[in-house]
Amino acid sequence: MKIEQLRKALRLYLVMGSPNCGGADPYAVLEAAIAGGITMFQFREKGAGALQGAAKFELGARLRRLCAQHAIPFIVNDDEGLALELEADGIHIGQEDASAAAVRQRLKNMIVGVSAHDLGEAQSALAEGADYLGVGPQYATRTKLDAREVQGPAVIQRIRAGGIRLPLVGIGGIDATNACHVIRAGADGVAVVSAIASAHSPREAAAELLRNIK
C-alpha cells in the first residue's frame, strides 16, 4: 500500500476483540462499525475472557473475510503466526513484542505498525522499517491495563517536530469529544477500542467520530 493510501486508511482505526464488545457479537460490532465508516481494523483478541486456539482463529478468519468484502485493511495484533495464517494485510507490534526490524524482515509484504511513546522510539521504529506508528496513551484508558502514563496529544506534536513524517495514529481514551485534538496535534487518524466496540450503536459511534475528525 502506498504511503498516502495508508494515511487515509488510518483515519478511523478500530482495534477490537471479543472482550471489548460487552457481550455483543464481535462480527455484528465490526459490521456496524464498517457501516459507520471505519477505515482500518485490528484484531486484538486480548484480556479477560479472550478466545484462544481454534476459537480465536475462527473468529479472526470471519472478521478477516468481512474486512476483505469491504476493502478494509485487516491488521493482527502481536501474533505473526496468526497474521500469516489469516493472510492479514499487516501486523501491529509494541515495544514489548518482537523486534520491529525482525518482523519487517520476516513479513516483507505486510503493513508493519509499531507502538511508540516518544521521539526516540519513533525514530527507532522508522529506522527498523515501520510503516506507521501508534502513539499513546493520549488519554486515560480502561481497556489496556498495562498502558503507560497518559501523555496527551503533545507527544504527537513532539514526534512531528522531531521530523517524523511517518503515518501516525493516536490511541488511548479517544472518543468523539477529544479526537479532534489528536488530529490537530499532527496525527493522520485515531485508533479506538471502547468508543466504538462498547457503544450502544457502534455504527453511530463510528459515524460521529468520523464527522468530528473531518
Ligand X SMILES: Cc1ncc(COP(=O)(O)OP(=O)(O)O)c(N)n1
44 is catalytic: yes
144 is catalytic: yes
Question: Footprint of ligand 3NM on residues 119-158 (CB under 6 A)?
Answer: 134, 136-137, 141, 143-144, 147
Retrieve residue 183's grid coordinates: 488530529
Burial of 21 (0-12, 13-18, 19+ CB in 10 A): buried
The response to whether 106 counts as a known ligand-binding position is no
- Annotated catalytic residue within 18, 104, 115, 203: 115
Residue with Cβ nearer Mg ion (35 or 101)? 101
The response to whether 7 counts as a known ligand-binding position is no
Residue with Cβ nearer ligand 3NM (98 or 108)? 98
The terminus-to-terminus CA distance of the chain in angstroms comes to 22
Residue with Cβ nearer ligand 3NM (136 or 189)? 136
Strand partners, 112: 91
The count of residues interacting with ligand 3NM (CB under 6 A) is 17
Three-state DSSP class for residue 171: strand
Q: By the 8 A CB rule, do 130 and 94 touch? A: no
8 is catalytic: no
Question: Footprint of ligand 3NM on residues 13-72 (CB under 6 A)?
Answer: 15
- Annotated catalytic residue within 11, 64, 104, 144: 144
* Binding-site entries: 42-46, 77-78, 97, 115, 141-144, 173, 193-194
Instruction: Enumerate the active-site residues.
Output: 44, 115, 144
